[in-house]
Structure 1
């Protein structure tokens, strides 16, 4: 079967997930798809184009909602991006460090759909840009918080500590010294990442709704 840009990018996305961005090389990618390294340049211009392309593939995988209320469309798009990034957290790291940008027509359609919902909410252009950044930041933070094993980030289970962090918090946070944190600590330690993301998304969308009256 003939090699295509899409097949190259999908293979690169898988390898980056397995070995991290630092472990993704043209040589390894060529071996994975069964060609000589030089043959890859028929499909990607360079390493930067490769990283941009695999990032764009993740954006393109998010289904675009049909017509409907702006908040329902915004929720579907944000949740879809969260789900896609959760499958490929290495892409979040690439975006956060500006190592990659989603340069493709499909990725731009996703971003356009986000802005369409925000503008339909009644926000002006500056407000829509702020809302977009807030939602993207929410997705990035949620994925990075709940995901371990990213390139350059040690797995917490591999690190030795004299005292587990939960035990340290429970010992250090006292009702006398830190009364508010002490009151909230059981809920904080019992938090579920997916539930937190849903609650945070509710807050952001609620704030956007309130900002336009």
Structure 2
């Protein structure tokens, strides 16, 4: 087999997938034309046939993340759609924490972002929200989702493994000095069923309950 036959066939989709792999391993700061080329086993210059430059690659990564988030159909009931979308976004961002800071930060919005935002606003408009109230609801939910995902990505324990109790024991505060904190930890963890991950569902319910009340007020 000749060297030409063995050469990897590059596509934009394959380059984006390699960029995701690099970002998952090294963070978004580790993504470059050179590092993605290395991931693919080619010279970085080879990528320029499919992506214009690093900014184009980062735009494509942001679009890829939006495409991973479940987007219920346009005629879905607004609250269940917002909840499903938020749950999906949280899972995607937990799997790819490098994306938290870049979803809304790219100077050139992708078609995936525009489609995503248009769909969300459509649910809210169909439910009777005004442009202002729909924007308030959208912003509140996304701020919570992104903030929670960021918190999860920086916790000193893995929430899905139920290690909160072990961590709390290791850093147990002095009840005489921090009585309220000690009481809170004791009450929450004493039953052995508390998981920080459950706070997402609780917080999202609080927000959507408030949004729903504003619609009927």
Scaled by the length of structure 1, the TM-score of the pair is 0.79
Q: Is the 8 A contact 1:26 1:40 kept in 2?
A: yes
Stretch deviating more after TM superposition (73-82 or 43-52): 43-52
Q: Is the 8 A contact 2:93 2:100 kept in 1?
A: yes
Residue deviations 1:22-41, cap 9 Å, x none? Answer: 22221111111132212212
Matched, 1:84 2:85: no
Shift of the 47–122 alpha-carbon distance from structure 1 to 2, 3 Å rule, reads same
Equivalent residue for 2:145?
139
Equivalent residue for 2:186?
186
Q: Is the 8 A contact 1:56 1:102 kept in 2?
A: no
User: Whose relative contact order is higher, 1 or 2, with alpha carbons under 8 Å and at least 6 apart?
Assistant: 1
Shift of 1:207: 0.8
Shift of 1:2: 3.2
Q: Is the 8 A contact 1:53 1:103 kept in 2?
A: no
Scaled by the length of structure 2, the TM-score of the pair is 0.78
The alignment yields a C-alpha RMSD, in angstroms, of: 2.7
C-alpha distance in 2 between matches for 1:52 and 1:165:
42
C-alpha distance in 2 between matches for 1:94 and 1:29:
18
C-alpha distance in 2 between matches for 1:49 and 1:171:
56
Equivalent residue for 2:209?
206
Matched, 1:168 2:173: yes
Shift of 1:169: 6.3
Shift of 1:165: 7.2
Q: Is the 8 A contact 2:66 2:103 kept in 1?
A: no
Q: What stretches of structure 1 move > 6 A for 4+ residues in a row?
A: none
Equivalent residue for 1:112?
118
Gaps of 5+ in 1: 149-154, 158-162
